[in-house]
Amino acid sequence: MGMFFSYRGRWRLKFPVATAAAIVVFAGFGMLPGERAGIEAAFAGTAGTPPQKLPPVPVPGPLAMPRSLEQVGVPVQQALAEIPSDNPQTPEKIALGEKLFFDPRLSVDDTVACASCHDPDRAFTDGRTTSVGVKGRVGQLNSPTILNALFNKKQFWDGRAKTLEDQAGFPITNPSEMGQPSLDAAAAKIAAIPEYRQAFQEVFGEAPNALNVSRALASYERTLISFNSPFDRFISGDENAVDAAAKRGWALFNTRAHCDRCHASVNMDATYFTDFDFHNIGIGIIRHNVVALARQAKRLIAKGDVPAIDKAAIQADLSVLGRFLVTRKEKDIASFKTPNLRNVLVTAPYFHDGSQETLWDAMDHYNKGDGMKNPWLDEDIQPLALTESDIDDVVAFLASLTSREYQELGVKELERQRALSRTRRPQRDTARAFGPKPTQPRPPPLH
């Protein structure tokens, strides 16, 4: 069990990697004049956004290493249960997946790796508002951490992938991420590299193929377990592991702050900090014509066409529809996955669109019950009447969820965010926070 998650082997060779892209074909039958142009415009997505400079691809260091299960707070039996029977873990497979994860040759032009958006030094995020892919193309969504992703019931902000194996291929093939034409093309590129041919033969008993590329990446990602925070030690019985402010914040988290409604502290359970569900929390919906986008999505994307959904989620304003793109259920309009709060301090900026810079901004959003003009807003969003000291205490609690390996980064990040919170609070609205809950409008018809 320890060897499985704490394998420290590392290849010194620098390989490239290829990957995949979903080619979306739209049948033009039944389209009105000009409708095709409208659909193509919708998928132009970020074409009008100036490209951004790509940073260097991160190099794997100590924080990239697979993690041991021997951390305070880890649900060991559940972690082992998350390993699929058709993709068992081995040290060699994990090492191969790690090498692929950091290899920019997975991208179409050798400039972007998985680690470009999921940098271990940033708790496997990229610190940007939204992700940047090949040719500096700017996406629509913030890169979530993949720490503890093995526990997710669904992957991506809208849950369009069920497993880590399913998830692994989509960034490789998305035109705004790694840009490969297909996973088969990626596998063919890898197969042309002798070192990879040998490694895949040793691990899988066959040449590289699309399935085994995804399996290797998923195996590495399953080792990225990050618990052992001050709060884990506190819950385990060390009363001195967190300070008085964090203890007050924990109490607020479970009561007046309503955080537990979505971040799954049922019976004060402190394992996952997510309900594994999707919620509309009032972010981004007002600045978009959501009804028109929902109608367009119904014309544009067949239900269950996951490659097309992936393309829309990254490239187009349709991304604001969130879970609706997957389910087509009206209640899911602009609903996004509840993120795990572990290491939240060091994964700024926040929310699916990266719109909130600090934890204080995120708390201000919730405190005023933002989004009341949003007809699909989650019922638990309402004014919370939290004082400034209450908000400080909740932030102190959230900071205590920082795993040991990120403690030094966490100290610096807390100082940075606190300084910003004392000079700039764009989301704060005390009058609304202490006022009554407004009446929500009724949803307009989508037909």
Q: What does pLDDT average to in each consecutive run of 10 residues of the chain (447 residues)?
A: 41 34 29 42 57 91 97 97 97 98 95 97 97 94 97 96 96 95 94 94 96 98 98 97 98 96 81 95 78 89 90 91 94 95 98 96 95 86 96 98 98 98 96 90 81
- Does a cis peptide bond (omega within 30 degrees of 0) precede residue 349? yes
Residue 130: its pLDDT value, please? Answer: 94
C-beta separation of 232 from 73 below 8 A = yes
Residue 56: its pLDDT value, please? Answer: 93
115-149 burial, b if ≥16 CB within 10 A, otherwise e? Answer: bbbbbbbbbbbbbbbbbbbbbebbbbbbbbbbbbb
| Joined tokens for residue 239 | 């009363």
Count of other CB atoms within 10 angstroms of residue 419: 11
Residue 358: its pLDDT value, please? Answer: 98
Q: In whole angstroms, what is the distance from residue 422 CA to residue 417 CA?
A: 9
Instruction: Report strand pairing: 278-279 vs 336-337.
Output: antiparallel
Number of H helices, E strands in the chain: 18, 2
| Joined tokens for residue 187 | 């596998």
Helical (H) or strand (E) element with 200: helix 194-204
Residue 44: its pLDDT value, please? Answer: 53
Region of residue 304 (left: phi > 0; alpha: psi -120 to 50; beta: else): left
Residue 12: its pLDDT value, please? Answer: 33
Q: Which of 146, 131, 133 is nearest to 64 (CA)?
A: 146
The β-bridge partners of 161 are: 155
Q: In whole angstroms, what is the distance from residue 192 CA to residue 205 CA?
A: 17
Q: Which of 227, 204, 175 is nearest to 24 (CA)?
A: 175
Residues in the chain: 447
| Joined tokens for residue 161 | 């992938």
| Joined tokens for residue 154 | 């669904």
What domains are there in the chain, each with its CATH number? Answer: 2-221 (1.10.760.10), 230-282+337-433 (1.10.760.10)
Q: SS3 of 337, please?
A: strand
Name, in order, each residue with C-beta under 8 angstroms of 79's C-beta and a sequence gap of 6 or more. 5, 69, 150, 151, 225
Residue 154: its pLDDT value, please? Answer: 97
| Joined tokens for residue 105 | 């040759």
Q: In whole angstroms, what is the distance from residue 161 CA to residue 166 CA?
A: 6
Q: In whole angstroms, what is the distance from residue 374 CA to residue 44 CA?
A: 26
365-409: pLDDT as tens digits: 999 998 777 889 999 999 999 999 999 999 999 999 999 999 999
| Helix/strand/coil percent split, the chain, to 5 | 45, 5, 50
| pTM listed for this prediction | 0.89
CA triple 246-252-258, angle to 5 deg = 135
Q: Which of 147, 128, 148 is nearest to 138 (CA)?
A: 128
Q: In whole angstroms, what is the distance from residue 274 CA to residue 44 CA?
A: 33
52-79: pLDDT as tens digits: 889 899 999 999 999 999 999 999 999 9
Residue 48: its pLDDT value, please? Answer: 57
Q: In whole angstroms, what is the distance from residue 236 CA to residue 75 CA?
A: 13
Residue 320: its pLDDT value, please? Answer: 93
